[in-house]
Amino acid sequence: MLFRNLSANMVAGLAGPLVSIVFTPFYIRKLGIDGFGAVGFFAILAVVVQLFAQGINTTLERRAAAKLRLPSERESTQIFYGTLQMVYWAAALGVSAVVSVLSGFLTGYWKMENGLTSGDARLSIVMGGILISLNLLAGFYSSLFVGLGRQVFLSSVQTAAIFTQTLVSISLVALKPVPSSFIIGQAVSAAVAAVALGREAEKEVGWLKSGLRPDMKHLKTEARLSMALMSVEALGVVITYIDRMLVAFFLPSWAGLGNYTVAQTGARGLGVLRGPLLQTFTPIILSWAAIDDFTAVRRKFWRIQTILMTLVGVLATVLVLTAKPVINLWLGNKNTAEAAGLPMSLLVAGSFLLVMSGPPYLVAVSRKYTRGVLVYNAASVVLMACAGPWCVGSFGLNGAASLWLAYCAGSLIATHAGAARILYSQAIPEFFRDAANFTVKSVGVIAVICVLYFTAAAVPADYSQPAPGWTALEIAVLCLGGFLAAHGLLLNFKSVSTLARQVGG
């Protein structure tokens, strides 16, 4: 069962980014770089929507795993599910409406240089809003199956949706090479996936057959825990993706946004390689936390984790070595500062993120492994200190320093949020104090990153040439990165130590 669930999660997680990487050159050739910028814009919009789901989906996972199977709790869980489903549908409709209203303003924000019409750009943004709404609903239903431990079914639906999206999008783009063709194909497949997941979720919960009505009071029983978790995870999302939002609005044209989308495609490939290989264990660990049975799987899990971390390191190294020729191939050898330097620096930052951000909250299930986690995080700090100067010095301040910092900060906060997630599932009271403390510090980190980012944007830099010497801002970036590393190290150690004491052994 363990390996079957791991395999299913891995296949579903890897399919999306790998398909995107393989077919990116096709979309660029057909749509042009301006058109590809319009295609990528909905990914930036998705960042804001992710904040809504942080914590709420985890609450549903915990509720489903712990209470849906209990006859005495089934009715209250049905009401909780039905009420939350109503909230999600309202949020999805609201997202679509807001994006549609703002589509005119967003269309005119960037210059159009290579044949993309305002009508095509606006339709793409509107359809992107619909796509985000559908993905929001699918994420809600997916959380139910994660909580129930049905990873194989969930991964099967997700994998089928990915390949259907690719087939439909390629067909529509080949027939009519405009950005809206691509996004319509994505939206159609997302709608089918959401319907399939929704129907199966109804069979599991029986909300419609129960005849019960939504009741917001049932959400209040989970509100305190959910909001505490949201405050940690949402801040992690903001810091992880703040580079996307800020850089997108710094770029002057749809062509620039297209080049940045290419960079994000590569970085997403790196990030999702990290995701399925490392984070795929999270739902399984949550299930173990619910039954408080770790003993039988500790050694096997540690061995799997070691193998996967080694594989991630090898993949990251290969991707860094091949990144520049692949990007030049995608962009038709347009070795310009915007087209080659920014994607390259982002890919390098993503590769460091892969190697640095191990999941100590997954392996530290007893006191025996706490020391190993401390050593692993110490090695991550050393790697960060070595990687920072090379990244900044090789690819320029504007293209690397701020991006590198944002990724490092996001990685550390996401790692601690994962530890908090496990503690949360154990209902440990210390979590509230840790969450409040971490939230305050995270706000300060966000403010510092914003200042660094806006300052870096005003400093001219040639991405393709090594930066001459060291500037005060570069030194500040490295110092702050070191502080974040040390802070994250202590927080992770504290979290896994608390978890070890609660689990025992």
Q: For the segment 385-394, what is each residue's pLDDT rounded down to a tens digit?
A: 444 444 444 4
CB atoms within 10 A of CB 216: 11
Task: Answer yes or no: do 161 and 290 share one domain.
Answer: no
Number of domains in the chain: 2
Instruction: Give pLDDT tens digits for 425-438.
Output: 444 444 455 554 55
Q: Is residue 224, in this structure, part of any structural domain at all?
A: no
- Say what the pLDDT of residue 45 is: 65
Give counts: helices (H), strands (E), the chain.
17, 0
Which of 165, 188, 215 corresponds to the end of one domain? 215
- Say what the pLDDT of residue 469 is: 46
Rounded Cα distance, 259 and 236, in Å: 25
Q: 464-481 burial string, b = 16+ CB within 10 Å, else e? A: beebeeebebbebbbebb
Task: Answer yes or no: do 277 and 198 share one domain.
Answer: no
Task: Answer yes or no: do 263 and 410 share one domain.
Answer: yes
| DSSP letter, residue 296 | G
Q: Is residue 222, in this structure, part of any structural domain at all?
A: no
* Cα separations in angstroms, 277 against 12, 80, 439: 11, 32, 28
User: Which tokens go with 111?
Assistant: 């210059």
Q: Is residue 234, in this structure, part of any structural domain at all?
A: no
Residue type present at position 361: Y
Q: Is residue 343, in this structure, part of any structural domain at all?
A: yes
- Say what the pLDDT of residue 224 is: 53
Q: Is residue 455, in this structure, part of any structural domain at all?
A: yes
The SS3 of residue 111 is: strand
Q: Is residue 433, in this structure, part of any structural domain at all?
A: yes
Q: Is residue 230, in this structure, part of any structural domain at all?
A: no
Task: Answer yes or no: do 296 and 379 share one domain.
Answer: yes
Are 355 and 312 a contacting pair, CB within 8 Å?
yes
Expressed in percent and rounded to 5, the helix, strand and coil fractions of the chain are 85, 0, 10
pTM, to two decimals = 0.60
- Say what the pLDDT of residue 80 is: 76
Q: Is residue 231, in this structure, part of any structural domain at all?
A: no
- Say what the pLDDT of residue 318 is: 56
The SS3 of residue 466 is: coil
Task: Answer yes or no: do 211 and 262 share one domain.
Answer: no
Are 104 and 121 a contacting pair, CB within 8 Å?
no
Task: Answer yes or no: do 299 and 443 share one domain.
Answer: yes
Task: Answer yes or no: do 183 and 298 share one domain.
Answer: no
Which of 215, 240, 270 corresponds to the end of one domain? 215
Task: Answer yes or no: do 104 and 186 share one domain.
Answer: yes
Are 205 and 77 a contacting pair, CB within 8 Å?
yes
Residue with tokens 């500037």: 471
User: Which tokens go with 453?
Assistant: 């980012």
Range of the domain at 337: 257-505
Q: Which of 252, 411, 256 is nearest to 342 (CA)?
A: 256
Task: Answer yes or no: do 195 and 103 share one domain.
Answer: yes
Task: Answer yes or no: do 272 and 210 share one domain.
Answer: no
User: Which tokens go with 279?
Assistant: 């984070």
Which of 160, 181, 215 corresponds to the end of one domain? 215
Quickly list DSSP for 221-283. HHHHHHHHHHHHHHHHHHHHHHHHHHHHHH--BHHHHHHHHHHHHHHHHHHHHHHHHHGGGHH
Task: Answer yes or no: do 302 and 208 share one domain.
Answer: no
Task: Answer yes or no: do 355 and 443 share one domain.
Answer: yes
Residues lower than pLDDT 70 in the chain: 1-14, 16-17, 21, 33-34, 37-38, 40-72, 109-116, 215-505
Q: Which of 25, 47, 19 is nearest to 258 (CA)?
A: 25
